[in-house]
């Protein structure tokens, strides 16, 4: 039995397909359309999922959507009425979209699905609608390795819920309690993201990366003026400081007055104020998460916790939560944001509506998040030949991996394209850019010359699972790059008195460990463990690099440039390779040197072979 899950029309639309409860395929629409955070109906992602399973839409038993639009419209109306007449402008902007599309979502979905499958709307499989946080909770618990666990969902807002607690037991999820809009931890963090000059719904991870450069000197001010935080982690916001409930901005003039001026303009220089604000809201977020987690542990008496929602992508808070030992273990949905709602809606429909049994599993059910398209050697060759690319083709994969490891050890930066594409925001060794973590210049080189992004942005280490404790204070797998852990004390580099006199981003140029390219200024790292059983080819590359250097760690960042989605196809990969200063491209069993490529004009009109007209 097949169930199709869909998330769409807000941001990060996606599709996921289950076969008898197993996730067959999942992908975000942005990877095919090449529009970052694409919110549109995920026609290309759906088409891919069906193609991967070898079926057509009428063979699907149910289609599940991750939201209940009428409840969301109710919240919007009540909110705007509550702020009238101040919220009229925002209401007037939102209403046409609701009247045209979202109020009639069932009809819209049927029409789009029928068009995609070239069938009559009456032939579209039955539609189900989960609540937004129900989809988040299902994506976390039903995909986790746990049979019984507390579930904590935290994001901006669903229909009404902004934070919700659930009990997962076997094949059922039981709602416990929730906090409602406008009191939202996700919105609070996004308000500071906006004020620091970053884009809401995509720049929050920049704020998290900026936090270690600052001092949390605004924490007390946040607690005294913006936030009434209770001991159990519940809270209320002082809404006069925020504009998001009824306006078109995140913060009000009172917020600006409180923190000494208007928001930073995008692309303007980052000042100590932004660094200190980032450090402060990060500290507050961590405290709220810890208090909520302790409440879940006390109330539900569970040894395990699952996390989902956009706030669950805050890997610094996740790492701190793990080290606190509140739970025996935690598991975070790798696509914790709205894209993961597609998986959650499908899993919820399978377990909640079909009452299907849930069998014990040694690992989670996300398959390393490697759920996207893959390409044969023939398809890769055909794609590269479109560009008249010059390449070396390897028949012996071990020789290919050995050669790539030698190039990495020589300081080269390599685009790495292998197997099925990742689902979720992290590159996990399928669509990655790789480098040598021992190179003290690697972080700045990759940020400025390849990713074209802010110099302060940290990179993640990919490390062989069995060696993770040799490098980091971490005693368990972290396959999805969602846990920050300290670098081991003995690997840290003593810093001079000169370093102590520096402020903020000035500290970036001082190596802090034997793996400086992945060690943040606070001696932390966002760790990805690589397991031979989940991603054997990436694991073998790490093994070859370890044989050459003694180091089982590589710099791993997503294969894209600033403002673009992670690459999906071989064509996407070659284009990105040619637009940057990457040295080599390793794409399946093909190796390309930048120096040998023809100088050709970039054709931005080319569209992915997977994008439908």
Per-residue pLDDT at 609 exceeds 80? no
- pLDDT of amino acid 357: 76
CA gap 517, 447 in Å, rounded: 11
Please give the structure tokens belonging to residue 450.
Answer: 């390849």
CA gap 417, 527 in Å, rounded: 20
**Degrees, nearest 5: CA angle 112-10-281:** 165
Per-residue pLDDT at 493 exceeds 60? yes
Cα four-point dihedral sign 301, 305, 308, 309: positive
Parts of the chain belonging to CATH 3.90.870.20: 377-596
Query: Is the peptide bond between 85 and the residue preceding it cis, with omega within 30 degrees of 0?
Result: yes
Cα four-point dihedral sign 330, 331, 335, 340: negative
Selected catalytic residue, list 11, 351, 520, 544: 11
Per-residue pLDDT at 613 exceeds 50? no
Close Cβ partners of 413 (under 8 Å, ≥ 6 residues apart): 433, 434, 435, 442, 445, 446, 450, 581, 582, 583, 584
Cα four-point dihedral sign 128, 132, 136, 142: negative
- pLDDT of amino acid 495: 76
Parts of the chain belonging to CATH 3.30.420.40: 2-66+68-129+339-365, 179-331
Tell me whether residue 183 is one of the annotated catalytic residues.
no
- pLDDT of amino acid 608: 44
DSSP code, position 220 = H
- pLDDT of amino acid 208: 95
- pLDDT of amino acid 606: 37
Closest CA to 57 of 126, 3, 117: 117
> Which CATH code for domain 2-66+68-129+339-365?
3.30.420.40
61-116 pLDDT tens trace: 999 999 988 777 667 666 665 665 566 566 666 666 656 666 678 889 999 999 99
Among the ranges 97-111, 299-313, 356-370, 502-516, which has the highest mean pLDDT value?
Answer: 299-313
Helix (H) or strand (E) holding 541: helix 536-549
Dump the DSSP string for 551-603. --EEEEEESS-TTSPPP-SHHHHHHHHHHS--SEEEETTEEEEGGGS------
- Distance from CA of residue 558 to its chain's centroid? 11
- pLDDT of amino acid 135: 98
Band of residue 603 on the pLDDT scale cut at 50, 70, 90: very low
259-294 pLDDT tens trace: 999 999 988 999 999 999 999 999 999 999 999 999
Pick the CATH number of 377-596 from 3.30.870.10, 3.40.50.970, 3.30.40.10, 3.90.870.20: 3.90.870.20
128-158 pLDDT tens trace: 999 999 999 999 999 999 999 999 999 999 8
- pLDDT of amino acid 611: 45
CA gap 424, 432 in Å, rounded: 13
> Which CATH code for domain 179-331?
3.30.420.40
Per-residue pLDDT at 531 exceeds 70? yes
- pLDDT of amino acid 612: 44
User: Which long-range contacts does 46-52 make (Cβ < 8 Å, 24+ apart)?
Assistant: 46/4, 46/6, 46/15, 46/113, 46/116, 47/116, 47/610, 47/612, 48/15, 48/372, 48/373, 48/610, 49/4, 49/15, 49/16, 49/17, 49/24, 49/25, 50/4, 50/17, 52/17, 52/24, 52/25, 52/373
176-228 pLDDT tens trace: 999 999 999 999 999 999 999 999 988 999 999 999 999 999 999 999 999 99
Cβ count near 506 (within 10 Å)? 12
Band of residue 602 on the pLDDT scale cut at 50, 70, 90: very low
Mean predicted confidence (pLDDT) in 338-367 = 88
- pLDDT of amino acid 449: 75
């Amino acid at each position: 039995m097949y169930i199709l899950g869909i998330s769409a029309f807000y941001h990060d639309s996606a599709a996921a397909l289950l076969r008898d409860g197993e996730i067959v395929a999942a992908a975000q629409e942005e990877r095919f359309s090449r529009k970052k955070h694409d919110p549109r109906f995920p026609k290309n992602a759906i088409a891919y999922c069906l193609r991967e399973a070898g079926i057509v839409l009428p063979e699907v038993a149910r289609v599940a959507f991750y939201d209940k639009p009428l409840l969301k419209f109710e919240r919007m109306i009540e909110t705007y009425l509550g702020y009238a007449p101040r919220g009229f402008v925002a209401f007037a902007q939102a209403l046409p979209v609701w009247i045209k599309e979202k109020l009639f979502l069932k009809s819209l979905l049927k029409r789009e699905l029928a068009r995609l499958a070239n069938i009559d709307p009456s032939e579209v499989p039955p539609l189900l609608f989960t609540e937004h946080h129900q989809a988040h909770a299902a994506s976390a618990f039903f995909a986790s390795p746990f049979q019984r666990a507390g579930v904590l969902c935290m994001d901006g807002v669903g229909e009404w819920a902004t934070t919700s607690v659930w009990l997962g037991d076997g094949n059922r999820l039981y709602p416990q309690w929730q906090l409602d809009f406008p009191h939202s931890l996700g919105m609070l963090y996004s308000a500071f993201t906006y004020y620091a000059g970053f884009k809401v719904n995509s720049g929050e991870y920049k704020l998290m990366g900026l936090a270690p450069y600052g001092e949390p000197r605004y924490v007390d001010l946040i607690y005294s003026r913006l936030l009434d935080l209770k001991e159990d982690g519940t809270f209320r916001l002082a809404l006069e400081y925020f504009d998001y409930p009824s306006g078109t901005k995140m913060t009000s003039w009172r917020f600006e007055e409180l923190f000494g001026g208007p928001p930073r303009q995008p692309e303007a220089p980052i000042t100590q104020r932004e660094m200190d604000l980032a450090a402060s809201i990060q500290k507050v977020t961590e405290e709220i998460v810890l208090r909520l987690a302790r409440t879940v542990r006390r109330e539900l008496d569970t040894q395990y916790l699952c996390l989902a929602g956009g706030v669950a992508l805050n890997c610094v808070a996740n790492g701190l939560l793990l080290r606190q030992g509140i739970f025996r273990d935690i598991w975070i949905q790798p696509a914790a944001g709205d894209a993961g709602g597609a998986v959650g809606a499908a899993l919820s429909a399978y377990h909640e509506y079909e009452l299907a049994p849930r069998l014990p599993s040694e690992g989670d059910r996300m398959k390393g998040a490697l759920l996207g398209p893959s390409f044969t050697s023939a398809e890769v060759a055909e794609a590269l030949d479109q560009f008249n690319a010059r390449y070396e083709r390897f028949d012996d994969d071990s020789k290919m991996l050995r050669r790539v490891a030698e190039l990495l050890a020589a300081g080269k930066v390599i685009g790495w394209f292998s197997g099925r594409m990742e689902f979720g925001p992290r590159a996990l060794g399928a669509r990655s850019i790789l480098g040598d973590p021992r190179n003290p210049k690697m972080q700045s080189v990759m940020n400025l010359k390849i990713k074209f992004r802010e110099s302060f942005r940290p990179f993640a280490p990919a490390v062989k699972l069995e060696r993770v404790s040799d490098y980091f204070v971490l005693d368990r797998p972290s396959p999805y790059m969602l846990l920050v852990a300290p670098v081991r004390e003995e690997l840290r580099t003593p810093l001079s008195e000169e370093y102590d006199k520096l402020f903020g981003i000035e500290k970036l140029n001082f190596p802090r460990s034997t793996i400086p390219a992945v060690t943040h200024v606070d001696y932390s790292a966002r760790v990805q463990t690589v397991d031979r059983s989940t991603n054997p080819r990436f694991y073998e590359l790490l093994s070859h690099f370890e044989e050459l250097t003694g180091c089982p760690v590589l710099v791993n960042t997503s294969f894209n440039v600033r403002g673009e989605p992670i690459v999906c196809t071989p064509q996407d990969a070659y284009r990105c390779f040619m637009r940057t200063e990457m040295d080599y491209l390793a794409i399946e069993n093909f190796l390309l040197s930048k120096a040998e490529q023809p100088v050709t004009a970039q054709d931005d009109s080319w569209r992915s072979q997977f994008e439908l007209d």
